[in-house]
Structure 1
Amino acid sequence: MDTQQNTALTRALAEVPGPLPARGVIHIVIPHTDRFTVVGNHLAQHPGISTTAVGFAVRIQSLPQGTEVGVKALAARYPEGEKLIAAALRELEAIGYLQRARTRLPDGRIVTRTVFCNQPAALLRPRKAAPHRPATPQAPAPAPTPQPGPVLPLPPQPAPEPDPTLQPVQVLAVAPRPVQVQAPAPEPEAPLATAPPCAPAPPPLQSAAPLFVPLIPPPTAPKPPSRPLPQPCELTPELHRAATALLADLRRHTPEFTLSEDDIQQLAPAVAAWLEREAHPDAIRRTLTNDPPQPLRHPAKLLRHRLTALLPPPLPGAHDFAVPSPRVSVTPFQTCDGCERVFRSPTPGRCRDCRTDHAQAAA
């Protein structure tokens, strides 16, 4: 059996046209005659989605129309788990190959309708090509003009084989009659007048196309400005020296954070701001170098982001922990101008009894 397989493979390789490559994959293409699905390279080689998403796209595309392709239905059909399938479907939906929409049926039920498009980018092209389509039917419009040419009734002209010249004059008189008969020929031009109403056809294309427009923002979208590096209240020589030493020492603990002198001079004020807020050097080192991305291409940019986004607040002072005591307003004592009696009042004057007696005397 092994010899037969090797012989078959050798025979198939011999039939491959052109020289075989020294390395890489060699394709043996056998045309399919049944049970096959056409998959575009824009999907099979898409760099923005995972191989799992490409595999499920091919599987969904190969299923007959009307087959359930929900997460649970695919999990029951294939060995992958529901989480992996849901992540793959989200990738396809974000790029436009898959679209899930809730629609209401005539009987009032609401169902989720799944639409798969094998080439979503092609849905956007007809919107530009649609305005040019009306021009194509106008091109054959001149065709009616040659119709007057088939004035086959003119063959009666051979009838005037006799030399009398009056007969050709009669033929000229007869010529206008077919023209009158062809007067309805402009009727095909009437459909041309009705052709403009076909122009509104693009709107359904425009309404359907947005269903598959990718939900990825354009690369030209404005980005928020980056936050400035933190600065210390006072950059003393001692702080600057300690900050530069801490940055230069990072490569001793984590070789990926090997910085140039220019990077150290730019980041030193931010590290000084951390030290000014009494952050311990070991804590700063752990915060800056913990769990870096792999591979780390720009260590200075990562340190700039972490120094800005993870800046700790200043340590609270003793007065910040003091609980303020509630203030109680006390009404001062006053001496009555009439009876010399002491009473409480915010302003000097008479006591309540003297004010009452004075009011009765005035009345």
Structure 2
Amino acid sequence: MIHIRTRQTSHFTVLANRLAQRAGSAVTVGVAAYILSLPDGAPITIAALCAHFAEGKKAIAEALRELEDEGWLERRIERGPRGRIITRTFAYDLPGAVPQEPTAPQEAAPEPSPEPAVPASPTPEGAAEATPEALGLLTRLHQRDHRLLLSEREITTLAPAVTEWLDRGAPPQEITAALTDSLPARFNRRPARLLAHRLTALRPPTRTAPPPQPDRPPVVPLQNCDGCDRAFRAERPGRCLSCRTPERSHLAA
């Protein structure tokens, strides 16, 4: 093979060899290249991708799942205007890169929740429902360790366990510390598996509020006796009990 190269100054996309030469499905590489060529704000739902490619929903969903698992894509749940929960998708030209905040951020249009690539497992009976506080806590973990960039599916899966910690009385700071302290230097698997293990193994017992303390009588302040200068307890200055007795008053006179 001989390359015939042309210098391009616009309308081109740079792809890492790690992606372009990725072994496996050509659909996955093609979907990744197409997504990286799109401008910010473009929709990349399964329906939008199926409108561009000839492959069906199953192949596109599998390609998105592989890209998420390998870190090329990240779906993050955030709170949008008026408290609405929205999904933002981040496309990485290299997995593991820390996303940079734009200098002049614009409110992106909310992206519909993606169709599941694989059937979602049902929530176990009695498990806590995911709350916005739990979703937000998991979304912010990468601020403590940039390796903890979780996909939308991982956040949704872990959120019920975090909600259970919150229901047991654990404050958010304690949960964040339990998930991020003393992490290994290298991850041999997706960090979500490590987080799931910690949420199960370190789950705290249910904490009950301490019983209310009985009301204590007010403490009477100390006063210095105007007669003998001894300390005694009274609401206001004056003489102590000894100085107020007739015998002590007669002797003092």
TM value normalised by structure 1: 0.29
Q: Pick 1 or 2: higher relative contact order, CA cutoff 8 A, min separation 6.
A: 2
TM value normalised by structure 2: 0.40
Larger helix proportion, structure 1 or 2? 1
